[in-house]
Amino acid sequence: MELYNLSGYELSRMLKDKKISSVELTESVFSRIDSVEDKIEAYVTLDKENALNKAKEVDDKRAEGKELSKLAGIPIGIKDNISTKGLLTTCSSKMLSNYVPPFNATVMDKLDSMDIVVTGKLNMDEFAMGSSTETSYFKKTKNPFDTTRIPGGSSGGSAAAVSAGEAVMALGSDTGGSIRQPASYCGVVGLKPTYGSVSRFGLVAFASSLDQIGPIGKSVKDTAMLFDAICGYDEKDATSADISHKSCLSNLKADVKGLKIGVPKEYFSKGIDDKVKASVLDAVKLFEENGAEVKEVSLPSTDYALNAYYIISSAEASSNLARYDGVKYGYRAKDYDGLIEMYEKTRSEGFGDEVKRRIMLGTFVLSSGFYDAYYKKAKLLQRRISSEFSDVFSDVDILCAPTVPTTAFKIGENIGDPIKMYATDVCTVTINIAGLPAMSIPCGYDGNGLPIGIQLIADKFNEQTLFNTAECYENLVGGFKSPNL
Amino acid sequence: MVEGYEVVIGLETHAELNTESKIYCSCKNQFGLEVNTQVCPVCMGMPGALPTLNEKVVDYAIKMGHALNCTINPVCKQDRKNYFYPDLPKAYQISQAEVPLCQNGYVDIYVDGEEKRIGITRIHIEEDAGKLLHSDKFSGSLVDLNRCGVPLIEIVSEPDMRSSSEAKAYLETLKSILQYLGICDCKMQEGSIRCDVNVSVHKPGEPFGTRSEMKNVNSFSAAVRGIDYEVNRQIEILKAGGKVEQETRRWDDQKGISVSMRSKEDAQDYRYFPEPDLLTIVVDKERIDALKAEIPELPNKKLIRYIKEYGLSLKEATAISENVDKAGFFDECVNNSNVSPKSVCNWLLGDIAKYENANNISVRDTLLTPSKLVELIKIIDSGKISNAAGKTVFDIIITKDESISDIIESKSLAQISDASALESIADEVLSQNEKSVNDYKNGKTNALGFLVGQCMKASKGKANPSIMKEIIVKKLSE
């Protein structure tokens, strides 16, 4: 087996035991990129030279006998909305097509200190707004399981790169499902951590109260390893939680005996593909057979979550994206007459349709006269949704639901129909609204061989329960499939 | 009342707080440094940068809340005020909309000897914006972001003022309180305090008129000029049968006029919403109480104390109490010494004030200390040196750290109070001025002054004038 196809966990051991060098591994990943990137188009920016230099540096450190982290020397791809000092961070937007951050996101500082190798910056929906990575200004990333299909989004580049072996692991961000949905479509593992457990400093904001950076990996262990590396309190992010994190990898217990699993009935209602529903319920059954207690639960406000999500996220986005005005950085229109025209032209030319749609929606719901009817109501709903989850988690340890109602759709299939596109987020947005941790792991394949994901949801800061349950599943099914590329 | 109209004024006052660092980042909060050097990704609004609240700002604002008798809200949020302008890099200002940190207070002001209570609607915290720079050297504008994120408090008054002089007294009082609390530099020329003025007029007995809001008022005297202009403008409109429009106007102090910026219809919709990057501000009772305990005696209280306890005039008491340095100096002199407060006051408002004005510094920036002034006053009171010699000593000790007794000795400033020495001077002068002696004896009493003067001259000014006078009177009546 080629190195790029192995899990990060295995590679970490091989590196530690000096069975392979980081340079070999990095070269393997880049040769994979050379051979499949034309088909997948996962990357906006590749950083091969620095990656190889870093790999060499790590190998030297290891040769000197220095104590290194588990992730040292492992090639990891970074979603292009996470600030990387000195490396283009475009958010897949024309607006930031020339923007090189002068500082690192906190997660990048952490990963740098752990000596990871950055392969490059991964494609995404523009400013993370989208569910297919089709709104990227630069390119359309393809699903490695079927390159006529979308990889999901907005972290489509991250999920596709990991799935295709173009990165051992990747960082994504999840505002309404942007890690879990592409992970599900691309047959990989993706975690959206509890809001506040990973610093958002340096993550280019879409919706500040919902955004979280999270890991994507080929296996549950990989995802735990990367989550351990990035989580933790950051004084630079006021919303980060000042609590201590124990290593999820070290405490991993692949066991569901006595685990109380809730199956929220609202997640299995209309619009859920039969095959998806069957696969998810099969996985639940497998848990039950292995000692878990399963019961049906209800989260009655789920139906309103999508509306609340699009109101809150668009409201925040309209404010967060106002700074792209052509004054300080990023794109500025060429010809303009006066300040107002510079603003108008810059923003008209610099943003794509989906981003503009959200800015307009968000501006509208915050306008005087409409604030109470929309934003305020959505916030009330958010509180209700949170309390429904609290109630449920007093009764069960974990929830199992589909990650997405269907498998990956064709490129272009939904791009002209925003409502249909937004509906693909129906199972994931509620989790962001409530600030909970959730994970998507592959739980089967449809008739076309496309991956299906099961979403595991836990109470706040209970990532360990997610990892334990997911690891148990991965062991029971004997691991997850890679695409034939 | 102006021409039969009652004037209603409310003020929104912005004060820059003098914290070490800015409100949401660790950049230095300092005026006048090279453009765009006190900046970081946070205050420049770079993508992905996040604010974290400087808790000192909350403390300072709560202090002002206490000083203005406000209710302190133990739980409040910060909100985004959204608008586009090149000096606002995030395109929103973090401020407080619905619930301010402090509200429902008041402050007592003094106008023409009358006390008046002005209601304080609210005090909230927010960040300042940058500054646009224009020059002949380049076309267009450049922006200096050093001021972005400088902490501000906005103090909103009730529409309780009825004249420009009340508005001025209110502003002077706020300034003085800010200085007492030590939370604002109060340097008007640096824009430490700025205000927006709301003005309306109406006939007595009728409801308040439509108000206009005037921005860009950068000094207290400009506020007076702006209000007077606006009052007259509105009265002219009403007299001509017109209607005052609700609008925002800009005060042009150079031209002495206000011009319309935007009408009510064009009013900006700031789309306030809770700042999701920051947590709710929660201040516990202990912290609120501890800050209250730090509030010093404020100028209003001092003013009354100076009048009642020390017998100073309103004018004197005001002049000392409104200036935190003078008041502190005064208190230090008067406390723990038995010198007359009036003497201290005379020095402070006389020679010391003259020196301060001439050199544009505060008494606290000189080498004169309260204990030295007390020593000087005591020496003069004892008759050891004359008032004139006292001024000579003062001129030295305000700039040099020299002992007063050394100065008196080296400059031979001590008065002659020894009777026998003074008697021999008197004898000599009287023998040389027979005409005046006779004049006095013939009833021309003003000859006495001349003779005393001659004695003083003969003593080179060192004779103790009152003892000298006694001796001469005694000798003339012999």
| B58 in any annotated domain | yes
Per-domain residue ranges of chain A:
1-485
| B188 and B224 both lie in a single domain | yes
ipTM at complex level: 0.96
| B374 and B471 both lie in a single domain | no
Distance between B94 CA and the closest CA of chain A, angstroms = 11
| B217 and B309 both lie in a single domain | no
Q: Which residues contact B433 (CB under 8 A, 6 or more apart)?
A: B450, B451, B454
Is the CB of residue A329 less than 8 Å away from at least one CB of chain B? yes
Chain A positions in Cβ-Cβ contact with residue B82 (cut-off 8 Å): 318-319, 322, 366
Closest CA to A445 of A454, A434, A456, A436: A454
Indicate the residue among B266, B291, B316 that finishes a domain. B291
Closest CA to A193 of A227, A226, A168, A162: A227
Beta carbons of A263 and A297 less than 8 angstroms apart: yes
Whether A83 and B47 lie within 8 Å, measured CB to CB: yes
Is the CB of residue B329 less than 8 Å away from at least one CB of chain A? no
Chain A positions in Cβ-Cβ contact with residue B90 (cut-off 8 Å): 322-323
Chain A positions in Cβ-Cβ contact with residue B45 (cut-off 8 Å): 323, 328
**Whether the bond into A113 is cis, omega within 30 of 0:** no
Give the angle A184-A91-B132 at the CA atoms, nearest 5°: 150
Range of the domain at B472: 419-476
Give the three-state DSSP class for B463.
strand
Is the CB of residue A237 less than 8 Å away from at least one CB of chain B? yes
Q: How many residues does chain B have?
A: 478
In angstroms, the CA B186 to CA B176 distance is 9
Whether B273 and A83 lie within 8 Å, measured CB to CB: no
Indicate the residue among B256, B274, B291 that finishes a domain. B291
- Give B 245-274 residues with CB within 8 A of chain A: 269, 271-273
Is the CB of residue A97 less than 8 Å away from at least one CB of chain B? no
| B235 and B308 both lie in a single domain | no
| B88 and B202 both lie in a single domain | yes
Whether B46 and A103 lie within 8 Å, measured CB to CB: yes
| B398 in any annotated domain | yes
| B1 in any annotated domain | no
* CATH no., domain A1-485: 3.90.1300.10
Is the CB of residue A334 less than 8 Å away from at least one CB of chain B? no
Q: Which residues contact A182 (CB under 8 A, 6 or more apart)?
A: A133, A151, A152, A153, A154, A155, A156, A158, A159, A160, A172, A190, A216
Q: Which residues contact A350 (CB under 8 A, 6 or more apart)?
A: A93, A94, A95, A324, A326, A330, A331, A333
Chain A positions in Cβ-Cβ contact with residue B91 (cut-off 8 Å): 319, 322-323, 325
Q: Which of A235, A239, A328 sits opposite B277 (nearest CB)?
A: A239
Whether B47 and A327 lie within 8 Å, measured CB to CB: no
Per-residue pLDDT of chain A (485 residues; tens, 9 = 90+): 799 999 999 999 999 999 999 999 999 999 999 999 999 999 999 999 999 999 999 999 999 999 999 999 999 999 999 999 999 999 999 999 999 999 999 999 999 999 999 999 999 999 999 999 999 999 999 999 999 999 999 999 999 999 999 999 999 999 999 999 999 999 999 999 999 999 999 999 999 999 999 999 999 999 999 999 999 999 999 999 999 999 999 999 999 999 999 999 999 987 899 999 999 999 999 999 999 999 999 999 999 999 999 999 999 999 999 999 999 999 999 999 999 999 999 999 999 999 999 999 999 999 999 999 999 999 999 999 999 999 999 999 999 999 999 999 999 999 888 888 888 899 999 999 999 999 999 999 999 999 999 999 999 999 999 999 999 999 999 999 999 98
| B438 and B314 both lie in a single domain | no
| B276 and B129 both lie in a single domain | yes
| B305 and B251 both lie in a single domain | no
Residue of B nearest to A84 (CA): B48
Which positions of A are annotated as active-site residues? Answer: 79, 154, 178
Whether B47 and A91 lie within 8 Å, measured CB to CB: yes
* DSSP 8-state symbol, A126: G
Whether A208 and B271 lie within 8 Å, measured CB to CB: no
Tell me, what CATH number does B469's domain have?
1.10.10.410
Q: Which residues contact B167 (CB under 8 A, 6 or more apart)?
A: B9, B11, B161, B197, B223, B224, B227
Q: Which of A103, A323, A367 sits opposite B91 (nearest CB)?
A: A323
Beta carbons of A412 and A134 less than 8 angstroms apart: yes
Whether B89 and A367 lie within 8 Å, measured CB to CB: no
Is the CB of residue A371 less than 8 Å away from at least one CB of chain B? yes
Phi then psi dihedrals of residue B142, to 5 deg: -115, 160
Give the three-state DSSP class for A248.
coil
Closest CA to A381 of A317, A298, A315, A311: A311
Whether B49 and A103 lie within 8 Å, measured CB to CB: yes
| Count of structural domains within chain B | 3
Look at strands A117-122 and A75-79 and give their pairing.
parallel
Is the CB of residue A207 less than 8 Å away from at least one CB of chain B? yes
| B179 and B253 both lie in a single domain | yes
In angstroms, the CA B96 to CA B65 distance is 15
- The predicted model scores a pTM of 0.92
